[in-house]
Chains A and B, each alone.
Chain A
Amino acid sequence: MITLLTLLPIVGGFAVLALARSRDLARAIGIVFATGALAIAVLFCYGLDPATPGMQFEEHHAWAPSLGMAYHVGVDGLGVLMLALSALVVLMSLVASWNNEKHGAVYTALVLFLEAGLFGTFTALNFIHWFIFWELSLIPAFFLVRIWGGKGRAKAANQFFLYTMAGSVALLLAFLALFLATGRFDFVDLAQLAQSGQLTTALAQNLHWSGNPGHLGMLLFWAAFLGFAVKTPVVPFHTWLPATYAEASSETTMLLTGAMSKMGVYGFLRILLPIFPQQMQRAEKPLLWLAVATIVLPAFAAWAQKDLKRTFAYSSINHLGYCVLGVCVAAKFTGADAGLAAEKAAALTGVLLQMFSHGLTAAALFWFIALLERRSGGLRGIDDFGGLRRIVPVFSGLMGIAIFASLGLPGLNGFPAEFLIFKGSFPLAPWAASVSVLGLLMTAVFLLTVIQKVFSGPVNPKWEAMRDLTTTERLAVLPAIALMFVLGLYPQLITGMVHSAVTQWVMGARF
C-alpha cells in the first residue's frame, strides 16, 4: 500500500513528461495524480486504527542484510498525518500554479517527484532507505528553485542545496558511526538499543573511542541534530531560508514551507527523540535556548522586512520554532514525575498539530502571495500596496483569514496547536515558555502591520484596476480556508488520529 502511494507520483511525473503535449495537459495530469495521492493519503488516515499504537501498514523486504539495509516502511499517527499534509500541500501548489505561465510540464513533473520524495521520507523506517528519499526530495526542490525562481535564484538555490547538504552529510556520518558500532540501520532497532542503554556501550566498544563514551554519543547527536536543524530550520542554521523562500516562485515556496520544512521536525520526532533520548536530555539547556531563539529572533526580524515573502518566510521559522520548543521540552521529561507525563503528551500533540496547521496556513499564505504577484506584475513589497481591501475585498478577506490563522486566533487552526505546546512547555520549562510568548506578540505586530499597510489605508491608485479573485480561484482557495475553520473548531480530527502514537512516546516505548 505505502509503496503504491510512493510510486504514484513518480508514475505521475513520468506520465506528465511523456504525455503532456501542452502546458494545460501537463497541469491537468499533474493535478489528477496529486488528487489521487491525496485521496489515498486520506484513506490511510481513515484506515489507521487510532487505538493501536505502533506502526501499521508495515512492509519489510530484505535488501542488503549484511549492511543492515532493508526496505522497511510503515506509518503511525505521525506518518499518516505527514502523508496527508504533503499530499494536500502538493495539490494546493499545483492548483496554485495553474495560471502561472512559466510553469510547464517539467515543473509539474518535478513537483510530483518531490512528492514521492516526501512520501518516502515520511514512511521509511530504515536509515539508508530513508536517507535516499530525504536526499531525493532535495534534488527536485533544488531545480524548482534554480530554474523558476526570481533574480537571485541561482545564489539562493545553491545556498539552499549546500546548506541542506552540509546538514545531511553530518547526519549521514552520524548514522554511519551508529552502523559501525551496532550493525543496524533500522530506526526501530536503534531506538530499542538506545532505550536499553546499549547504544552508548556499543559505541564505546566498537569504535575504539578512547575518550568518554558519553562524549561520542553527544558528538553523534549533535551531528544528527545539525541535519534536522538546517532543514527545519533552527536558528542559527536558518540563513538559507529567507533568501530561498523569497527567490523561489511562490508556488515552490508553498512546497518548501508547507511540506519540506516538516521533514526537519519529523526527524526530531522520529529519529532524535527515540534514538538519542539521553543525549537530548543532557543537551536540554542549549536546545531550549536554540528553540527560544528560533521563536523570538525571526519574529522580530520579520517586522524589519520589506518584502512580503521574506516577512512570511521569517514567520515560518517562528512557527516551526514552537515545534522545536515542544520537542525539546518533551525530551526534558525523564519519566520520574508521572504528573508531567500529561505535559509531555500535550507538548507532543501540540507539535503534531502545529506541523499540520503550519503547513496548511503557510501554504495558503504563499498561495495568496502568488495570486497577488500575478496581479501586481511581481511586485510584493509591503509598501507597494495600500487600501487593497477596497479594491479586492474577497481576496483581502480570505487572505485576512489565513493571516489570522497564522496569528493563532482561536477558532482557526493555529490556536489549538500553540495552546497545547505552551500548555506542555510551561510546566516543563517555565522560563523558556515565558520568553517564547514574545514570539506570539511579535507575530501579531508584524502580521497586523502587513494588513495595515497592504489592505488598509487610502487606495493606491496604481492598483485601482486590480481584479478580485475569479470564481475559479475562489473555489480553489475555499477548501483550504474551510479546513482552517474545521481544524480550529474540531482539532480532534487530528488529535484523535495521533493520540496513541503520543501515548507511546510518553510511555517511553518510542515506536
Chain B
Amino acid sequence: MMRPESMSWIVRNLWLIPALPMAAAAVSALLKRSERRLSAGLAIGSMGISLVLSLMAFAEALADPARRVVTFNWMQFGDQWVQLGWLLDPLAAVMLVMVSFVGLLIFIYSLGYMAHDDNFTRFFCFMSLFAGAMLGVVIANSLLLLFMCWEVVGLTSYLLIGFWFHRPAAAAAAKKAFITTRVGDLGLLIGMVWLYGQTGTLLFYNSGAGCLERTAVAGMEAHLTVAGMAVSTAIGLLIFCGAAGKSGQVPLHVWLPDAMEGPTPVSALIHAATMVAAGVYLVARVYPLMSGSALEVVAWVGAITAIFAACIAVAQNDIKRILAYSTVSQLGYMMLGLGVGGVAVGMFHLITHAFFKALLFLGAGSVIHGCTEDQDIRNMGGLRRFMPVTFAAYACGMLALCGFPLFAGFWSKDAILHAAHGWGVSQGPFYLGAVGALLTAFYMTRQMYYVFLGQRRLAEATVSPAAVAAHEIPAEQIEPVVSARTGEVCIIEHPHESPAVTTQPLVVLAVFAVLLGFVGTPAWPWFQSFLAGESAGLDFGRFGEAGLLPLMAVSSLIVFAGLGLGWWFYGRKPILHATDPDALEKIQPGVFHALANRLYVDELYGVTVIALTRFCAGFAAWLDRWIFGGAVRIVAWMVTGVGWLDAGVDRFVVNGGFDEGCRDVARGGRLLSHFQNGRVQNYLRVIAVALVVLAAILLWGRRG
C-alpha cells in the first residue's frame, strides 16, 4: 500500500464525494419546509461538486489504473479494530461518474417535476442522502462500509417510494420494498460475518491482506462446508442474496414494480439507473470471491429474471410498470453478463442501461405530466405531435433498450449474448436471453404505439374557465370544443410538452443513449480494457473473431423481429379506443391475463410466505399467553394450593376461583383460564416476601 502522503489529493479526499451530498441532506433536514430554493440549491450544488470530484477521480484512474486504498480505524473490540476505508480503481471510477452525472441530471429534472409538491424541501433532502449513500457504496473498500451505505440507500428508497405517504398504496409499496430487500440483506449480513470470521478482515484490498486478495480467497476455496461447497462459494452465494434483493432478481423482484409508486425522478434515479444496479456492482466488486459454481447460479438467476420480467412487461398497461419490469429484465441481463462473461460484460450493460433507462423514465415522467398525471398507456396515443422533444428522446431510449444496431444497448447486450453463447456450462441462458431480447423489442414497440403513435385516445380533460382565466394553463394548451355528450361548449386541455428544465436532461441523456455504446465495441473495447487496467487499440479485425459477426446479425434480426411483431399487433391497425382489448388479449386471453396479473407471484407469496409469517406471529403471541403464561399460572396455582391446604378449607379461594373460572370457561373455553385469578399472585407474593425476610433475618441473626 502506498503511503497516504504520496497519494494524489483526489484519492486522499475521495470521501468528499459521498460526504458532500450527505452533508447537504443533513442541512436540508433541518430546513423549514418553505426553504425550497435553498434545499434544491444545496442538493444540486453538492451533486455538482461531487461530479467534478468524480471526474477528477476518473482522470486519476485513467492516468494510473492501479488500485489505491485508504484505510482507517472505526471501532475497537478487545485489542482488535474494525477497519473501514475507500478505494479508487477503474470500476469505482466508472460508477462514480455515472452515478453523479445521472444523479445531477435527475436533480435538475426534479426541479421542474416536483415544483408543485408541498414537500419539495424534504424531497431534495432524501435525494441527496440517497446520492451520498450510493456514492458511498461505490467507493467503499470494506464490505462493512459498503453494507452500511447499502442499507442507507435502502432507507432512502423506502422514504422516496413512500414519498406520497398519504396514499396507502405508496405506504404499502415502501414497506414491501424495504422488507423484501431486507430478506436478501440478511443473507448478505450472514455472508459478511462469515467472511469476516474466515479472513479476519472485511477490507476488500489491503496490500495482500484484504478479503478479496489471493491469500484469503485461496484459504476459503480450500475450506469445505455444508454439502461439500467451498466456503468461498457459500459466502459468494450469501452475498449474492443481498445483490438479488437489491437488484430485483427472481424471486425477490416483487418489490421493484410496486416501487413505481414513488415520484418519477425517484424511479429514474433509484429504481432504474443506480440503486437497483448496486446489486450488480456488488457482485462485480466481490468477483474474486465468486467461484465457478457461484457464478453458475448468478448466470441462471439472471437469465431467468431476464425472460420472466420481459414476459410480464408485455401485458402491463401502466407506462412506469412496463419500464419497471423492463428494468428487472435488464438487471437480469447484467447478472447473466457477470455470470457468463465477467465483470466488464456485466458492468458495460449496467452503465449503458443507466443512461437509457433513466432517459426512458424521465421521458415517461414528462408524458405523465403532459397527460395530467395519467399513467395508463391505453388513455394516451398520438402524443408525438404534442410532445415532439419528449418523443424524439424517448425513441432514442427505446431503440437503445431494444438493442437496435449501433445504439448503446446493442453493444452492451450483444456482449452479454456473445458471452452466453460461448459459455461452456450450458446454452440455456443464451436462448433465454435471446428470447428475452425479442420480447424487449416487442413490448417497447407496443408501448411506443400506445403512447406516441396512432391517434389520441386521451379522455378529454375539461378544465374550468376559472383556471383558464387565472392563467394557470397556457393558452396554447387549451381548446374550446362542443361536447358531444351534452352539447355544451367546454374547454379542454391538450397534452403539452414539458418545460425546458425537464426536456433538456432528456436530450443530454438521449445523446448518451445513442453514442455511449461506442466506448465498448468489439473493435475498440476501451471500456473493457479500462476496467481490466489495460489500454485498448482500435482494431476492426476483431470483428472477424469466430462467430462474432454472425451472432451480431442474429441478434439484430431478433430485434427487427421484435419490432416487426410489435408493428404487426399494434401498428397495423390503429388503436381507436382506450377500452379496446389488447391485440394479444384477443388471441390469447388466458395467457394475457396471467401476464397482466404478474403471473400471480404476489398472490403466491401472500398465501405462502406472508401467511406463514402471520401464523408464526399469532402462534408466538398464543404461546406467550397460554403456554408460558399458563405455566406461570399453574405454578402460581400450585403454590396457592399449598397455602390453601395449610389454611384449611378456604371458602374465599374456592368461591373466588370457581366463579372466576366458570366465567372464563364460558367466555373462551380455555382450559388454562381456571388459573387466571388475580388473587393468586397475592399469595405468591406473601410467600416470596416471607422467604426473603426470613433469609434476611437468618443472615442478620448469624451476624449477631
Contact = CB atoms under 8 A, between A and B. Distances in A.
B613 interface: yes
A448 B175 contact: yes
A499 interface: yes
A118 B77 CA distance: 26
B562 to A, nearest CB: 40
Interface in A47-89: 64, 66-67, 69
A411 B152 contact: yes
B148, B623, B624 pick with most chain A CB within 10 angstroms = B624
A130 to B, nearest CB: 14
| 3 interchain residue pairs of minimum CB distance | A345-B78, A410-B148, A456-B171
A169 B168 contact: no
Contacts of B699: 67, 128
Interface in A324-380: 341-346, 348-350
B545 interface: no
B613 A445 contact: yes
B582 interface: no
A406 interface: no
A411 to B, nearest CB: 6
Interface of A: 64, 66-67, 69, 128, 135, 154-155, 158-159, 161-163, 165-166, 168-169, 172-173, 176, 235-236, 238-239, 242, 297-298, 300-305, 341-346, 348-350, 387, 389-390, 404, 409-411, 415-416, 419-420, 422-427, 430, 433-434, 437, 440-442, 444-445, 448-449, 451-452, 455-459, 491-492, 495-496, 499, 502-503, 506
A298 B170 CA distance: 28
Contact of A236 (B74, B76, B147, B631): B631
Contacts of A496: 75-76
A440 B189 contact: yes
Given A166-B688, A506-B78, A301 B624 contact: yes
B77 A297 contact: no
B617 A499 contact: no
A409 B152 contact: yes
B165 A455 contact: yes
A291 to B, nearest CB: 16
Contacts of B616: 300
29 contacts: A67-B703, A163-B632, A169-B692, A236-B631, A297-B624, A300-B617, A300-B619, A301-B617, A302-B617, A303-B613, A304-B620, A387-B166, A390-B166, A410-B148, A422-B190, A424-B77, A425-B193, A427-B194, A437-B190, A441-B183, A444-B179, A448-B158, A448-B178, A452-B171, A455-B165, A456-B166, A458-B168, A491-B75, A499-B76
B692 A342 contact: no
A426 B692 CA distance: 41
A484 B189 CA distance: 22
A349 B629 contact: no
B676 to A, nearest CB: 10
Given A410-B152, A457-B165, A239 B624 contact: yes
Given A176-B695, A422-B193, A448-B179, A502 B171 contact: no
Nearest to B194: A426
B78 A341 contact: yes
A64 B699 CA distance: 11
A419 B681 CA distance: 41
A410 B74 contact: no
Contact of B621 (A301, A445, A502): A301
Given A162-B688, A304-B621, A441-B179, A410 B147 contact: yes
A142 to B, nearest CB: 10
A60 B182 CA distance: 51
Given A298-B620, A423-B193, A426-B190, A503 B79 contact: yes
Given A410-B152, A426-B197, A349 B77 contact: yes
Nearest to A310: B621
B526 interface: no
B691 A433 contact: no
Given A155-B681, A236-B631, A341-B78, A458 B166 contact: yes
B151 interface: yes
A238 B77 contact: no
Given A155-B678, A161-B685, A342-B80, 12 more contacts: A69-B703, A154-B678, A168-B692, A239-B629, A242-B624, A300-B613, A303-B613, A346-B77, A410-B148, A440-B189, A442-B617, A456-B162
Contacts of B7: none
Contact of A409 (B151, B190, B629): B151
A161 B681 CA distance: 10
B642 to A, nearest CB: 15
A305 B620 CA distance: 11
Contacts of A491: 74-75
B463 interface: no
Contact of B168 (A345, A426, A457): A457
Nearest to A438: B186
B691 A169 contact: yes
Contact of B695 (A172, A298, A410, A419): A172
B197 A343 contact: yes
A163 B681 CA distance: 9
B641 interface: no
Contacts of B621: 300-301, 304-305
A256 B506 CA distance: 57
Contacts of B171: 452, 456-457
B656 to A, nearest CB: 14
A239 B627 CA distance: 10
Interface string B44-72: 00000000000000000000000000000
B148 A415 contact: yes
Contact of B77 (A67, A305, A495): A495
A473 B182 CA distance: 33
Interface in B189-222: 189-190, 193-194, 196-197, 200
B372 interface: no
Interface in B615-673: 616-621, 623-624, 627-629, 631-632
A452 B175 contact: yes
A159 B168 CA distance: 40
A350 to B, nearest CB: 8
B144 interface: yes
Nearest to B187: A437
Contacts of A342: 77-78, 80, 200
Contacts of A451: 175
Contacts of B155: 404, 409
B682 interface: yes
A345 B77 CA distance: 6
B702 interface: yes
B77 A420 contact: yes
A434 B190 contact: yes
Contacts of A442: 613, 617
Nearest to B196: A423
B392 interface: no
A173 to B, nearest CB: 8
A503 B80 CA distance: 10
Given A419-B144, A422-B189, A422-B193, A459 B166 contact: yes
Contacts of B78: 341-342, 344-346, 348-349, 499, 502-503, 506
B695 A297 contact: no
Contacts of A387: 165-166
B75, B170, B182 pick with most chain A CB within 10 angstroms = B75
Nearest to A163: B632
Given A66-B703, A165-B685, A496-B76, A456 B193 contact: no
Contact of B688 (A169, A303, A349, A506): A169
Contacts of A162: 681, 684-685, 688
A165 B617 contact: no
Contacts of B491: none
A165 to B, nearest CB: 4
Interface string B148-162: 110110010010001
A410 B151 contact: yes
B461 interface: no
Nearest to B119: A393
